[in-house]
Amino acid sequence: MAEACYIGIDTSNYTTSVALVSAKGEILANLKRPLPVRSGECGLRQSDAVFAHVRNLPVLMQELETLLAGRTPCAIGVSAKPRDAEDSYMPCFLAGVAAAEAMAAGLHVPLLRFSHQNGHLMAALHGAGASEALFGRPFGAFHVSGGTTELLYVRPRGLDFSVEKVGGTADLNAGQAVDRIGVMLGLDFPCGPALELLAGENTARVPKPRVSVKGMNCNLSGLENLARALLEKSGDRALSAAYTLDFIAQTLGTMAENFRAEHGPLPLLFAGGVMSNRRITAALAARLPEVFFAPPAYSADNAVGVALLCRARHMAEN
């Protein structure tokens, strides 16, 4: 008898992702292909991102086909928009929706739509081993990436989430700052992993960041100028990289403490591509109690969370 399974598809600004999970919730596949960006550039136009996804999806689907041998998909899940809000929209997700609709129609199975953000939260819960610890409890969550820097108040809603944005950046996203400064330092986009490695080479004393945080909101647009000024003064690329990551960690830590001052000592979950940075997570773990971090495979863009949400909803409705 064929084994039941669930498929998730996510097409973000940075990565084409397809995931496969079993009926028991086991991760059978976490497939990804990054979107190509020319050296020296800091991102893609939406039209270029859609085109890249159209090229990547058939490759990932061929990999998935091999894994589906002996398995029967029960439903297809897809991230259809950035956030769980009526006005949330980004063209790059249309590529994933089109692929998911075609697959669901061909297999005669339901298509379930979710937000990219809720997929990140679900993947982070799973990757951090926090599903049981946080199930049925409200918690705070940071979604920190190139496209988003938000502080969320998350409440349980059945097997999904009710997400309220209570804070975040007023200008630049943390991932944008990482990429702009990384490109300034001669790294290729996306710059997160290379910037972390460069920061690890630093041996100089890192100046204490003077961050801009008011309540649960922050400003990050000044970080690029501060990192450039430090580079011009010191000539030390590794020092500027370390300062950049410490600035982001200090910013998030201050916002987290302000969140708890207002909402109580709730647990905190960190999701999004920037949270795969070990220097940032180590600083936050040393500063804050009861925090949960996912490993890089489940922090960076992925479709695992969407597949898990798809499984949970389909099993609850059938």
Q: Which amino acid is at 276?
A: S
Distance in angstroms (rounded) separating the CA atoms of residues 207 and 201: 16
Q: Model-level pTM greater than 0.85?
A: yes
Q: Which amino acid is at 210?
A: R
Residue 198 in 3-state DSSP? Answer: helix
Chain Cα centroid distance, residue 43 = 16
Q: Report the pLDDT value the prediction gives residue 181, as an integer from 0 to 100.
A: 97
Contacts of 207 (CB under 8 A, 6+ apart): 230, 243
The answer on pLDDT for 286 being more than 90 is yes
Band of pLDDT at residue 110, cut at 50, 70 and 90: very high
Q: Report the pLDDT value the prediction gives residue 31, as an integer from 0 to 100.
A: 98
Q: Report the pLDDT value the prediction gives residue 239, as an integer from 0 to 100.
A: 98
Architecture of domain 3-128+299-317: 2-Layer Sandwich (3.30)
What confidence tens digit (pLDDT) does each residue in 23-73 have? 999 999 999 999 998 877 777 899 999 999 999 999 999 999 999 999 999
Q: Report the pLDDT value the prediction gives residue 107, as an integer from 0 to 100.
A: 96
Q: Report the pLDDT value the prediction gives residue 134, as an integer from 0 to 100.
A: 87
**By C-alpha distance, which of 277, 274, 307 is closest to 10?**
307
Give span(s): CATH 3.30.420.40, the chain.
3-128+299-317, 167-293
For the domain covering 167-293, report its CATH number: 3.30.420.40
The answer on pLDDT for 78 being more than 80 is yes
Contacts of 62 (CB under 8 A, 6+ apart): none
Which H or E run contains 169? strand 160-169
Q: How many CA atoms lie within 13 A of 179 on its CB side?
A: 20
Contact 77, 99 (CB under 8 A): no
Which H or E run contains 251? helix 237-263
The answer on pLDDT for 231 being more than 90 is yes
Q: Which two tokens stand for residue 22?
A: 């079993």
Q: Report the pLDDT value the prediction gives residue 160, as an integer from 0 to 100.
A: 73
Contact 115, 82 (CB under 8 A): yes
Q: Is 264 exposed, middle or buried (0-12, 13-18, 19+ CB in 10 A)?
A: exposed
Q: Report the pLDDT value the prediction gives residue 183, as an integer from 0 to 100.
A: 95
Residue 17 in 3-state DSSP? Answer: strand
Q: Which two tokens stand for residue 183?
A: 């490109």
The answer on pLDDT for 158 being more than 80 is no
Distance in angstroms (rounded) separating the CA atoms of residues 142 and 213: 15
Q: Which amino acid is at 70?
A: G
Band of pLDDT at residue 224, cut at 50, 70 and 90: very high
